[in-house]
Structure formats: C-alpha cells, structure tokens
C-alpha cells in the first residue's frame, strides 16, 4: 500500500481509546511531552521467532526475518508468536505485503491471503493506488483517478475481497501525478472515510471527510497556507479525530493539534512533536521529534514510551491501546527495530532487521 513517508523524517533527511466526538465537548488540553513515571529498564531479550503460531484469535503483527520468505505473527501483547504457514516475497527494503488491522488477511500485490497460503481473492485495483483497510479488516478503500491522466476526476471507492469496486464519491478533486491521495480512515461503524492530497507526498494540501454510506461530503479542509512551512495530518482509525502537525516557520518548532474531524473543534495540543497516528482506542498518539520516536497520551502529555532514532512507521491494535512502532526504516535502511508498545511502555522488541508492513 503506497503511502507518504513521515513528514518529519523527510524534513530531517532532506534539510538536515475513545476521544470525545464533537457532540461531547471536552476541555482543550495543552501539553508538552513528559517522561514516563518509571524509567525503562535495560532492553529485554528480543522475541525469538520459532515454531508455528497457536490457533489464537485477536490482532496480530506480521513480520519477516532476514533471508526468509515465511511470515511470522505476534500478538500485540506478545502473548503468542510463531509462523502462520504463509509466505511473502523477500524485498530489498520494506515489507512485500500489506496486512489488515488484525494481521490476516494480508495482501501481496492484488491477491489477499489467509493463513496456510490460502488464496482469498483479489482486489480490483492495480496495486499502484494508495489503499487502506477498513478498521475492521473486512474491506478496503482507495482514492483513484477515473483514468490515469492528469486532470482526471478522483474517485473514492471501496471493495470487499473478490468483489468489484463500489463508488462512494467522485469529483472532489482532480488527479495530479505529482501528488499522493492516501485514504486516512475508512470505518463503517462511524460511517466515515477521509481522503487527503499530499503535494509530492510531503505535506497535506487538502483533506475531505465523507459519509461512507452515502458519499456526502461532511467537511473539506484546506491546508495549503497552514502547511506552507511543512506539516502532517493523521486520522484515527474510525475517522473521528484528526491530528494536525504544523511547523512554525522554516526550522521552527513543531506543534500538534488534536481536533474533532467533523467540526474541527480543538481537543488538545502537544508541543515539539509530529503526530503520525493514533492508537486504536484513540487515547495515545505515535510520532516523533528531531531525535526520537515516542508514544504519548495526548490528553496529559505523559510519554508512555520513546526510543532514540528515526521514526519508521506504526501499526495500531484495533480498538486497543497497543501499537507496533518502527525505528530506522526511512530510506530503506537495514538498521531497523520494531517495538510493541502499550500505555505503560515497551512490551517486546522484535528480532533484528525484521520487515513489518508499517504505516507512515
């Protein structure tokens, strides 16, 4: 699933739960990240990936070790891990698959697979478009041009595995081959889908919030002026909360603002931080500053976890508080680590140089 890389990482490489909805007003919180109440102890031994995964249910993080094609899976709490009996191609940088929120099914190209190499069917897009799994992993959403030509009308579509695409909305913008069109959220429960346009994949220019059931536009947000000095926008998995990260002038400090998606009401702020995403329960945010990646309780500013290095993507546990967070993936670097993190800090560290289909 092609997606724009971290805005913060690109700037440095080149230049150097359930949150309340708009109907439940909450005092605005302004916070500067604070250290965890209890300092982390020395790193534990890395997860040992051996054997077959037990017949467990729940959300999984898929990973691949160097020089192998077999896929391992580990629960977000590290209670179980092992091979799932499926494979994915070995790539020189990054993962050769895209996992659903629960890990399985996963995509290799246009084919969806289950455990034990079971083919589940194909998706209707070529693989070049930016596709996003629904928050429950039952279908996908994609923003695609009606034809592959500059100026073509953009379409928001959804599709279940093995079925044709269904049109949700069209004509909300026109296609440019210098831009990216990620679907930031796709959720039937909240009846929301969010599409963004990122100029050259670096900073957001506009965001559209749609009613997934009808395609009606709930809100359109113009970021061209606000993000002139660089910025990022992220959405919760259910599409009800946005995080807008803005830089105050070239080389200035970052500030992240948490807002209600539907009306833009400000819910909180975090100084000196770029938010890349939310935990599945929306209580935590994941992102980075100039030197490290972190997971933060955005209402209090409490830093649940941090690690020095370049932020390298994340995966949230569906509807839960835990995340997988990568360090050092930018630019295809082979120096990478993936941590499982919860509201009280690190849970586990995956094997060295793993490949994980992280979001950016």
Q: Tell me: the pLDDT tens digits for 237-252?
A: 999 999 999 988 777 8
pLDDT score recorded for residue 24: 31
> Residue 310 in contact with residue 319, Cβ under 8 Å?
no
> Residue 338 in contact with residue 358, Cβ under 8 Å?
yes
What are the φ and ψ backbone dihedral angles of 331, each rounded to 5 degrees?
A: 75, 15
Q: How far apart are CA 240 and CA 235, in angstroms?
A: 7
Q: Tell me: the pLDDT tens digits for 241-295?
A: 999 999 887 778 999 999 999 999 999 999 999 999 999 999 999 999 989 999 9
Query: Rounded to two decimals, what is the model's pTM?
Result: 0.87
pLDDT score recorded for residue 18: 32
Domains of the chain, with CATH numbers?
Answer: 7-349 (2.130.10.150)
Residue 35 predicted with pLDDT over 70: no
Q: Tell me: the pLDDT tens digits for 200-237?
A: 757 899 999 999 999 999 999 999 888 777 899 999 99
Q: How far apart are CA 9 and CA 3, in angstroms?
A: 14
CA neighbor of 325 nearest in space, from 333, 310, 35:
310
CA neighbor of 358 nearest in space, from 345, 336, 346:
336
């Amino acid at each position: 699933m092609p997606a724009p890389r971290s805005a913060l990482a690109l700037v440095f490489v080149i230049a150097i739960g359930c949150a309340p909805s708009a109907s439940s007003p909450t005092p605005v919180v302004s916070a500067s990240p604070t250290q965890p109440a209890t300092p982390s102890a020395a790193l534990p031994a890395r997860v040992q990936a051996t054997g077959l995964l037990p017949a467990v249910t729940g959300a999984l993080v898929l990973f691949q070790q160097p020089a192998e094609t077999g896929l391992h899976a580990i629960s977000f709490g590290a209670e179980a891990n092992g091979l799932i009996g499926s494979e994915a191609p070995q790539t020189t940088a990054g993962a050769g698959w895209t996992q659903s929120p629960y890990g399985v099914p996963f995509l290799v190209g246009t084919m969806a697979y289950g455990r034990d190499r079971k083919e589940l069917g194909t998706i209707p897009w070529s693989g070049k478009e930016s596709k996003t799994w629904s928050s429950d992993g039952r279908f996908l959403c994609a923003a695609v041009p009606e034809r592959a030509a500059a100026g073509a009308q953009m379409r928001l579509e959804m599709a279940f595995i093995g079925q044709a695409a269904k049109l949700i909305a069209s004509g909300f913008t026109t296609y440019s081959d210098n831009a990216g069109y990620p679907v930031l959220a796709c959720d039937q429960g909240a009846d929301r889908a969010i599409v963004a346009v990122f100029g050259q994949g670096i900073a957001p220019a506009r965001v559209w919030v749609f009613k997934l059931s009808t395609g009606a536009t709930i809100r359109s947000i113009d970021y061209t002026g606000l993000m002139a000095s660089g910025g990022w926008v992220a959405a919760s998995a259910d599409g009800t909360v946005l995080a807008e990260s803005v830089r105050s002038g070239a080389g200035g400090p970052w500030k992240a603002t948490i807002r209600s998606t539907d009306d833009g009401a400000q819910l909180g702020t975090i100084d000196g931080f770029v938010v890349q995403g939310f935990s599945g329960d929306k209580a935590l945010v994941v992102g980075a500053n100039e030197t490290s990646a972190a997971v933060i309780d955005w209402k209090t500013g409490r830093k649940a976890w941090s690690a020095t290095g370049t932020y390298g993507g994340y995966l949230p546990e569906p509807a839960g508080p835990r995340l997988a967070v990568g360090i050092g993936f930018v630019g295809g670097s082979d120096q990478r680590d993936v941590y499982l993190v919860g509201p009280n800090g690190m849970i586990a560290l995956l094997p060295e140089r793993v490949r994980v289909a992280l979001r950016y």
